Every structure is written in structure tokens, then in C-alpha cells.
A and B are shown apart, each in its own frame.
Chain A
């Protein structure tokens, strides 16, 4: 590292650098020589790469697509990221042609110019569709000279709030609709003859150029820079900022960040780096085991990644494999990937040491505007598909190409056929009839025929029906989706879909359920809910939820009439109502709740929440009366009372009639019933029962939750007597929970008085500083609360540990509370501001990191619990979700950025990690990272990783706050420790030991906590009880190192009397969860098994370095005991 640094200094001294240049850590800017770049590429055995095209012929390729003549079209922008005043918008669309078929481009033509940052190009309709700024353009070449003669604005009104988010990723779907994406910051408003189409935030558009019909296919993601379809039309996407790898896109579904979505689907590889582009391999050039592999680019980590995607229930699983290309070249930026006409894989290399403009200045001089490469990858010895101009083929010849095993041939033949229009119908019909029904691809070819009919907008019910009943489930699933486009042409569509809702294959059921959402008919929802009579996995559950919500305008009016078939099936009705609540539904739902056995226990919380959201006063009255009827089970009484309490608190609604009739509930034997009854009396402010509350507050031997309920109820009366009681309690010798509860209740009534009493209270917590957290949190969550606390702290002292915890809370609240932070520091004697370095100091600092920082020591510091790094950040799949994933930080961020982020976290905040501070009309303040917003709630994620839903109509104001990363986090670290930590972060994704390997390995573990109960229980039973009675013990999460190991030194050691001999060491227990696939076959790679015993669920494992097990599909727990006397090396578990 030192040598590199010296080398860099030497290089710098040779270059004429400006002063801004010198301020940055520039040591890795390489020479733009393609040969030098190519030399860094590492490919799997048997693959080779060659340069297809490079600068100066091309510059900054953003998207590429092949046409039916085999030529490669490129959208290229030198203007990105922002047009400079006085500069011309002169970006271009280029056509590259490998005329002699030797794998190297021979000519480059400028097809169109004068563009402003074109981000997508897809050839078609005698020219090409181009995404540029606010517009989707169509350029036409009338005379065949490869220069556009005509430019038409096809659609306009796409947002431009971020130039790497603007309309992108153009691709013809299998049915020849044009799919295109926009990213999270974009807001689009597009006028079409079919109305105004709006899409806020990210999503994939589906567009039919022939009719200008424009729809949103799926919503969400940060940057959907890759979309593709498998051979049966199942849809997939990758995300250039999302980190969940391959995404299975269910029609109409929402994914992370979707605007207005109250529920989302996740990607198939959580914890992945950012990915750009997506291709599915089909080529005679490639080995058999590479066919149908998914390929996408980790442009930050300089890698081209490969995944194997397999069917799993109604969805898919995805496993990462060895990379197609791995490089250490900092300017290698693979961003698009396509299969070529010759069966080779083509990769667009944007070539830039600086990758985007959010974190690095628009005009950073290191930003490259002139280079770019197209790389071509082939398998040595694999056949190269001969060059063919599809536009010259006859229609029967093109139809024959639909069975080609070369993706380009099959896909582009469909394009040519589509552009020939309805003239191909006789040939298409003849071809579809002539297909060999014994051939393995028979069903797939019939599906291709069906898609051709759809592309030409000619309904073909007979073919569709036969595909709906075909032997191939993927073809049936695809046919369900096609039926959605022909609903008006096929009157019996509900019958056809009903049969598929009962299909034996879950993905067919899913597609049928989604197509039913397009049938605007109340019967459609009842049919869809019949899917509940079969197994329902997460994908199908989501699809059904979405369909129920989308059809609400149709089914809701039928609820009171009793006409809805689904209402006669408790299971169906429950799903309907918990998915899409409505006031009319409340009596039906409440009936279910009170019918023994109608609702599974697991569904109860959702049912209660639905009741809270939609109950009317008459419903609440019925609930109260039900709670009062003798014979009502206590658990139900408590649940109903909790609904009444929450409805009063959140919606200010209460039952009718004399509410004091609830008094008998205060005598219940159930403490939960008593607690909730007390809370209700408070919410309803029943003065007649005030004495009962006072009595409950005074009852010091009652369980804590009952007492807190009484205290809350008391404070609801807001009078002087209540205040006096609370003040008395705070100063009493009662237990801590009671005193703290009284203090927090007082905060709502007499904030100033509460602030002053809080100081005394905090000073009583010398021995248990963590107990101060709820107090600080309550002041931060109260308007003006922080100011009051700061004033009360003036000239007072508090314990230092409490001050440190309080500062962390202030920082991680995302609120700027400089007064409170200063007061806490002064009172607790702590310092710890953000450290701002001058450019010179930064240079010294980064040099010191390179020279003295030790990543191995740095990783240990990173893993310290006191620093909380792992609580908020993940490296790969395991860790907190509050902050950005650190997976390839070192490979993507410059050292000065890393150092600055540690010392002054607010200087630059990663996109999507600014907090939002929200004030509500009841005087509360919430802060966290905005996760999503539905029509009802805004959902934030707080520093603890919790989701907080805030009802939209309660929001008074919101503003952007700081990062959740606490400033002064490093105050407790020495300078050397900071250098080590920075060195570790800089090594992530860059040095092999600090790069997450694609080999699956367990990263999220739990360790048994060394409590005396654990020791005692283990002494009485055996170590196996850790596996057979896991709930007896306390477990805490522990994350593996980047290499995937659990260092033993970090594991709590448990001494077990009579089991561990004097002088020898104790044992540690760790456990993790694994997922068995559909066939149940699991391989566990323990490696060195010295000192280990293990169990799969409660069954012992016969240990070996590698163990093969057959388990039932689904999650399983692996528990391992480590004998610390026999083992010193870390524990790991590969899969």
C-alpha cells in the first residue's frame, strides 16, 4: 500500500495539476489504454474477451441494442451529467457494424445528433426509439443511409430531476411492447390519446407505439437499469442502487421505494451490490451450464456478475456464481450487456473513474467525457453464429428462426415480423399449425405464435385457450397474461381464469390472479380469492393482496348486499378485508373475530389493526358490549379493549352510550384486560371512574404494565390533581419503571416541570445508564422538548455515560438539536463534534491511512459493539439496514470521501439516507429515513431499524434533516484506530480478504448470551437443549466478518458447572437459519470441525467437513456448540 502511494505521488508530480486536483485522492487515475484495461480482466476458464469498439469511435456508451441486421446501436453522451451554459447539446446515437463478422466493429455511423443526454436507444420501425431528457423520440431513416431523416416526439413529459434517472433501459418485450424505466427521483406526466399518465418515483413503463397505449408495468426500485424476460415471458429487473440483485417483477407489483405503496416485494438476492443491465444467456457459443444464466454488471466493483435463477413456488430463487469478468481497473465500468447476433456476449464499458454526479462534483476534472469501450466475450471453441441480415429473409424463414437457440436471432426475427404487420398472418397461421407437437419446444413455439398475434393486435382465442390448457406450466402462466389484453374479445374470460386460479402450478395461479385484477367485475375478486384453497407463498399472497385492492371499487358496493361469493367463505372474506379494509366490512370482520376458530392466531394483529382503521362508532359500541358479555374469553376482551383504546387515541372515536358500563372490567382476573380497560377510561375521560384510576396508580404491587396503563389513564385527565400525583410518583421510592412512566406522562402535561425533574431522575441512573434512553427519546419526540431539556441542564451535571448515550440519541434522531447537544456535553463533560479537515489536513490524513492504517485491525474496530457500525450498516447480506451497505465501498469511494464520512458524517450523505423530520398535529416529532408513502401513511425507518407509520392526515410539516450517522462517533477512538477503520473501509470490495465472495456463506448468526439461567439450564440438561429448547435461552445477533467467519474472541463464553473441568474453558453457542429449496437438498460446509457439535433444528448432525442433508423445504435452524478448550479458529458455515 505504501508503495502504491509513493508511486501515485510520483505520477502526480509529473502531471500539470490544478489546485483542485491536488486536493483529491487521485492516485488511481489510469492511462486510458484499452490494452492496459483488458490486461486486468479475469474471466472463467475457457472464456476470452476482445475489444469490439473503443474511443475515439465511440464515447460514453449508456445503452446499446442490436438491430435485425446485426448492427449495434449506442446511446452516447458527453454532456452528462449536466449541460454547461454556452455548450451545445450534441450527444449522439451511433451505429456500429462488424461488416466482416470477425468480432471487431469496422464502421461507426452517426445516426442522430443534437441530443441532450440520451439514456436509451432501441432500434425499430425504420429507425430507432431514443430516450432523451423529457422525451421519447422516434428517429426514422427514410433513404437507408443510416442517418436519421425524421425526428418525432412520441411521448413527452418525463421528469429530469436526476440525469442518471431519466427515461432509460429500452427493450422490446416478448410481445413486442416497448418496456422502459425511470428511476426514483423522476416525476413524469405524459399526455396520450388515452389520458394523462403519471408516474412519481421509479418504475417500468410498458408502451405500445402502434396505439400510444402507455401503462406502468411495475413500480419502485431506485434505478431499474436492467429489465428482461425469460423464454416464457416471466419478467426480471436489476437495480442500479437497490442492492437486492435479481428482482422477479410481478405485473403491477411495487418494489422498494415505490411511491404510494403500502406493501412491496423484495429482490431475490438481498445484500447484493448495485447492478446495471440484465441479459439472459441463450447462445450456441456458450457451454450448456451457462444457458439461461442471468448476467448483470456490478459497475462499482468492476465486475460482470452471473446468477442462476430457478423456479421456486410462484416465484424464483437466484444464486450468484463466479463472475464473468472481474477487474481491478478503476475506470472499467460495465453498464450494459447484450447477446450479439454471433452468440457472443457484448458489454458496454462506460469507462470512467468517477461514476456519478450525486457524490462527486458535476465538474470534477477527473470525470471522463471522451472514452468508452464495447467488449466482446466468447467461449473458446464454441461455434460462432454466422452473420445474417434478418430483414432480407422471407416470412416463413423468419418464423422458422423463432426456434433458434440464439437469443438475438429469435428476438429480432419477431421484431421484423411485427414490422411487416398483418400481412404475415396467413404464414403465421400455417406455421403455428405445422409445429411438431412432440418436439421439446412445442409449447414454447406456440407461445411465440400467441405473442405474435398479440404484437399484431389480432385476438386468437382458440390458440390462447389451448395454451391455457397446455402441459407446460410456464406457457399456461404466460397465456394468462396475454388473456388480460383480450378481455373484451373473449366474453368467457372469467371462466378461463377461474380454471387457472385452481391450476396445479403456483405461478400460473399468480398470473391468473393478476389478470383478474384487469377484469373490472366484482365476481373477479371472488374467483381470485379461490387461490386461497391452495398453497399460497409470499409471491402469490402479494399478488392476491394487490388484486383485492385493485378491484375494491368493484367489490366494495356489493358487501352490504350479500351478493359477494367471497363473503360466504370466512378465509376468503378475512383475506379480502385485511387486504383492503372498508367501514362496511367492519361488522363482517368483527363477526369473524368472535367466531371461535374462524381466524388463525397469526392473523389476529392484522385483524385488530384493520378494525382500528375502519371502525365506526356503532361498531365500537358493539365491541364494548361484546367485551362486557359474560363468557367472552379474556384474550378477546383484551384485544377488543386495545382496539377501542387505539381508535380513541388515533381517530378520536368512541362507543356510544354510558361508557362507565365498562367498570366491571377493572375487576377482571386478567391483567391485560385491566390494563386496557384503564387506558380506555383515560382516553374516554370518564370522571365517574376517576377514583378507580387513582386506586390503580397507588397499587404498588400491580404488574408494571397495569400500573403504566393507570398512569397513562391518569394523565389523560390533564388536571392539577393528576399533575400532583405524577410529581409525587416521580420523587417516590417506587420502582424505576413506575417513576419513569410518571415522568414521561408529566412531560405531556407540564413539559417544563418534567424537564427539571428529568435531571434529578437521570442522576439516579448512575448504575443503569441505558435506562435513560426512553427519557431522552421522549423529549426528542416532543415539540420544543429538546429545548426544554437543554434549558434544564444548564449548570447541572449528569453522569458521563448517560451524556454519551444521550448524544448518540440526539445524533441518530436526525434532528439538528445543537442546543441540547451542547448542554448534554457540558453537563456530562463530553466533547465530540464533527471534525472538519482542511484540504491540506485531508491530504495528510489520507496519506496516513495509506501508510499506517491496518484493515485487519480496522475490521475489529468496525465490529466493536460500542461503535454500533454493524447496527446500522450491512456489508453484503448481513447487518443493519439503516445506513448504506458497505459492500464495495472501497472499490467505489475515494479515500478522502471515506475519511470525511467518518469524521463529519453530514458533509456528504448517500442518496436516500437523509432523514426526514416529521411533525404531527398531536405535537409529536418523528425522524428517520423515508421508506415509502401510501395513501394513508408515511413510513420512516428510524435509527433502530424500526419502521414507523405516520398517518398522512396527522402530518403538520416535514423537512429534511441530517444523516442518521452520529457525528462525533469517532470521538471515542484514538487517531490510530480511525486510521485503521478507514483502511478497512477502503479495502472493502477492493482487497480479496475484504470482498464478499459470491460463494454462499452464513453471515447472520445469533449467539447465546451468558446468563446465569443459561448456565443453570445447561447444567441440568445437555448442550442439545440449545437446539431442542432454544427459547429457554437469550440470543443476540452476531454478524460474520467480511470473510464470513465468526472470530471466537467475540463469542460469549458460558461456563457450565460439572461440565467444564477446572482450568479449562467454557463453551459458546451460535445458531443461524438456512433455507432448504423445494427438493430439500442442503449442503453444509463446516470446514475444520475441531471442537464443534451441531444440530439441524433439534436433530444432531453427523459432523464432517461437508455434510449433505435432506430437509423439508423452507427455513431450518442450525445450532453449533463450540468447545473453547478444543478450538481457537473462527467458526464459519458455507452453503
Chain B
């Protein structure tokens, strides 16, 4: 298994010679939006990207996760009853309402399945997305797609695992190069997540299934992101690595560390935010049956004060530097 993971990493090291900015990017009062596919959507479950950033920044920032499973630069997952183009418009509108100062974009994992043949179209659309999202004093952070972790692809022989991962990673590395080029062209900050896939001794697997990051995977990539955004990342004694790869329990014990209590509130806030921007029963609240139950849509903005309350708690729970 370790050999396999090593194989994955070696192929990455040669194919992915990317580096990141070291200077802190965040400023006080920044409103951060995360946009992307499964990589972004699942980040909110554990808060292992947000927590180190909150801990490392010496000032308050807010964090809005707008990830959508399987999404692409075309908003393929956001159309719902409409074509993706309409979902793309809705996404721009939502981001416009938040009016972020920083947008972290994690696209490419879904698109890389289409192979290098679709790379040009991807680049073109990614550039359009950056153009459409442009705003005054708005900073962009572009993430590379995460590689497939051969050893964790379930139900396959080691040979099949390597074949599958190499095939995907050969494509994903080209998508990563394209994103790096776009970052260079537009002055965006590139954060290469692939170094996190070089296992240190005692590391857990990064993914549950070869492709989707687990709690440990988020914790480890979170260090890279925190460093890129704030210039530093919390010591492992402050924010220890998760000991299980599954979703950690929601109830925090009385004697939990301040960091764990902070992370618990972050997760609660993420859940409320999800109800706010992607509520269930969209059909009745805002969609084509809103003439029936659309009156209940008044409840949705009622999540705003609840989110704000938790944002305040997040700031109050932050340990003094």
C-alpha cells in the first residue's frame, strides 16, 4: 500500500513542478468565498481548511462555502431545472450578494475525467469564469485538482489501482498546469495541493475512495492553504490531525480543547450557511412551484442572523495569539 502511494507521489513530483506564494494574502475583514466541485463542497463537513485559517489570521474574516458536488467551470451541477448556463448566472448572482474580497476556486477534478482532449475548452471557460467574477480589490486563489490516490481506490487489484490512478493523474496534471498558467496570467495566487500527497510516516490515507478527500486529507491540505492565505499554519499541537478518516462526531465533549470547540462552531455555521444558500425544497420555495409554497421562503433569510451569531462566536472562541 505504501509502495502504491509512493508510486502516486513520484508520478506527481515529476509531473507537477508547481509552487505557491509565501506572502500572506488575507486582510482584516476579508469575506472569503469558496467555489468549486466536490473538493470544495465536502470541505465544510469538517472545517479543516477554515479552522487553521481562522486560527492563523490575527484578524476576523468570514468564510462562505459555495461548493457543489460534481461541479465544473461551466456550473454543470448548478442548473437544477434549468440548463447549466442558468445555474452559472445564479452562481454569479449569489457571489455578487456576498460581495467577497477573496475567492478560492477549486475546479478541475471533475473536468480531468474528460481527459486532455477537453483541456482547451476548460482553460477558456476557466478564464471566462475569472473574468466574470472580477471585482474591485478582489483577490483570487486557484487550487490545483487533487490527484487520485491509487491505494485507496476500492475493490481493485494493485495493478488496476495503479493503472486507474496513473490514467487520471496524467490528465489531472495537465489541468493543474493549465490552472497554474491562468494564475500566472491573471495575477491570482496558486495553491498547489499535491505536496500534501507525499505521505510522512504515520500519515493516514488522504482520501476515502481514491478521489474524495477525507478528514485527514482536508487537515493536511488545510496546512498548505493556511500558509498561502495567512503566511502560517497552526502547530499540530493546537490543531492535531484527526485520528480517524471518517466524519468526526458533532457533539464536542466538555473537556475538548478550545480549538476543537472552535471547529465545532465552524461546522455548525457551515450547516446553517448550507440551509441558507442551497435550501431543500428549492422547487417550492423559489422554483416553478413557488406559487404554492413560496410563502415559506420568508424563512430562508431567517438563517442570516443565526449565521452571524455563530460568526461572532467563532471570533470569540479564537484563542488569543
B59 within 8 A of A: no
Contact check, A196 vs B110: say whether CB atoms are below 8 A apart: yes
Which of chain B's residues have a CB closer than 8 A to the CB of A114?
250
Contact check, B292 vs A193: say whether CB atoms are below 8 A apart: no
Chosen A-B contacts, 20 in total, with CB atoms closer than 8 Å, are: A83-B280, A84-B299, A116-B280, A150-B246, A151-B247, A153-B208, A156-B41, A160-B278, A161-B81, A161-B280, A162-B283, A189-B68, A189-B71, A190-B70, A191-B212, A196-B113, A198-B76, A361-B293, A362-B296, A909-B291
Q: How far is the CA of A211 from the CA of B154 in the complex (A)?
A: 5
Contact check, A189 vs B77: say whether CB atoms are below 8 A apart: yes
Closest chain B residue, CB of each to CB of A165: B283
Contact check, B41 vs A157: say whether CB atoms are below 8 A apart: yes
Contact check, B280 vs A191: say whether CB atoms are below 8 A apart: no
Contact check, B155 vs A210: say whether CB atoms are below 8 A apart: yes
Q: How far is the CA of A85 from the CA of B154 in the complex (A)?
A: 39
B45 within 8 A of A: yes
Q: How far is the CA of A86 from the CA of B70 in the complex (A)?
A: 29
Contact check, B281 vs A82: say whether CB atoms are below 8 A apart: yes
Taking Cβ atoms with an 8 Å cutoff, the residues of B that contact A are: 37-38, 41-42, 45, 68-71, 76-77, 79-81, 109-110, 113, 148, 153-156, 164, 208-212, 244, 246-247, 249-250, 271, 275, 278-284, 287-289, 291-293, 295-296, 299-300, 302-303, 306
> Are A361 and B211 also in contact (CB < 8 A) when A160-B282, A211-B154 are?
no
Q: How far is the CA of A512 from the CA of B188 in the complex (A)?
A: 55
Beta-carbon contacts under 8 Å, A61-98 to B: 81-86, 89
Q: How far is the CA of A140 from the CA of B279 in the complex (A)?
A: 28
Which of chain B's residues have a CB closer than 8 A to the CB of A153?
42, 45, 208, 212, 247
Q: Is the interface of B mostly helix, strand, loop or mixed?
A: loop
Closest chain A residue, CB of each to CB of B164: A193
Contact check, B69 vs A190: say whether CB atoms are below 8 A apart: yes
Instruction: Kindly supply a per-residue 1/0 record for chain A positions 188-223, scoring 1 wherever the CB is within 8 Å of any chain B CB and 0 otherwise.
Output: 011111011110000000001011100000000000
Closest chain B residue, CB of each to CB of A152: B246
Which of B271, B278, B306 is close to A89, meaning CB atoms less than 8 Å apart? B271
Contact check, A193 vs B154: say whether CB atoms are below 8 A apart: yes
Which of chain B's residues have a CB closer than 8 A to the CB of A140?
246
Closest chain A residue, CB of each to CB of B302: A85
Contact check, A361 vs B295: say whether CB atoms are below 8 A apart: yes
Q: How far is the CA of A914 from the CA of B153 in the complex (A)?
A: 45
Q: Is the interface of A mostly helix, strand, loop or mixed?
A: loop
> Are A189 and B69 also in contact (CB < 8 A) when A153-B45, A157-B38 are?
yes
Contact check, B154 vs A189: say whether CB atoms are below 8 A apart: no
Q: How far is the CA of A1031 from the CA of B117 in the complex (A)?
A: 61
Which of chain A's residues have a CB closer than 8 A to the CB of B244?
150
Q: How far is the CA of A632 from the CA of B295 in the complex (A)?
A: 66
Which of chain B's residues have a CB closer than 8 A to the CB of A163?
280-281
Which of chain B's residues have a CB closer than 8 A to the CB of A734?
none
Which of B68, B155, B292, B302 is close to A909, meaning CB atoms less than 8 Å apart? B292
Contact check, B208 vs A152: say whether CB atoms are below 8 A apart: yes
Closest chain A residue, CB of each to CB of B298: A85
Closest chain A residue, CB of each to CB of B278: A160
Q: How far is the CA of A84 from the CA of B210 in the complex (A)?
A: 36
Which of chain B's residues have a CB closer than 8 A to the CB of A83?
275, 280
Which of chain B's residues have a CB closer than 8 A to the CB of A193?
148, 153-154, 164, 209-211
Q: How far is the CA of A163 from the CA of B293 in the complex (A)?
A: 13
> Are A160 and B281 also in contact (CB < 8 A) when A189-B69, A190-B70, A191-B38 are?
yes
Contact check, A162 vs B281: say whether CB atoms are below 8 A apart: yes
Q: What is the distance, in angstroms, from A363's C-beta to the closest C-beta of chain B?
A: 7
Closest chain B residue, CB of each to CB of A191: B38
Q: What is the distance, in angstroms, from A122's C-beta to the closest C-beta of chain B?
A: 18
A553 within 8 A of B: no
Q: Which of B77, B113, B210, B289 is packed against the most chain A CB atoms within 10 Å?
A: B289
Q: What is the distance, in angstroms, from A893's C-beta to the closest C-beta of chain B?
A: 14
> Are A187 and B80 also in contact (CB < 8 A) when A86-B306, A212-B154 are?
yes
Contact check, A191 vs B80: say whether CB atoms are below 8 A apart: no
A908 within 8 A of B: yes
Closest chain A residue, CB of each to CB of B276: A85
Which of B210, B211, B296 is close to A363, meaning CB atoms less than 8 Å apart? B296
Beta-carbon contacts under 8 Å, A252-283 to B: none
Which of B38, B211, B280, B300 is close to A160, meaning CB atoms less than 8 Å apart? B280
Closest chain A residue, CB of each to CB of B285: A82
Q: What is the distance, in angstroms, from A840's C-beta to the closest C-beta of chain B?
A: 20
A133 within 8 A of B: yes
Q: How far is the CA of A39 from the CA of B47 in the complex (A)?
A: 53
Closest chain A residue, CB of each to CB of B245: A152
Which of chain B's residues have a CB closer than 8 A to the CB of A960?
288
Closest chain B residue, CB of each to CB of A159: B80
> Are A358 and B293 also in contact (CB < 8 A) when A85-B303, A85-B306, A960-B288 are?
yes
Beta-carbon contacts under 8 Å, A280-329 to B: none
Closest chain A residue, CB of each to CB of B304: A85
Q: What is the distance, in angstroms, from A449's C-beta to the closest C-beta of chain B?
A: 21
Which of chain A's residues have a CB closer than 8 A to the CB of B77?
157, 187, 189, 198
Q: How far is the CA of A291 from the CA of B93 in the complex (A)?
A: 58
A934 within 8 A of B: no
Closest chain B residue, CB of each to CB of A916: B288
A41 within 8 A of B: no
Q: How far is the CA of A1081 from the CA of B104 in the complex (A)?
A: 71
Which of chain A's residues have a CB closer than 8 A to the CB of B80?
159, 161, 187
Q: How far is the CA of A84 from the CA of B275 in the complex (A)?
A: 9
Q: What is the distance, in angstroms, from B125's C-beta to the closest C-beta of chain A?
A: 16
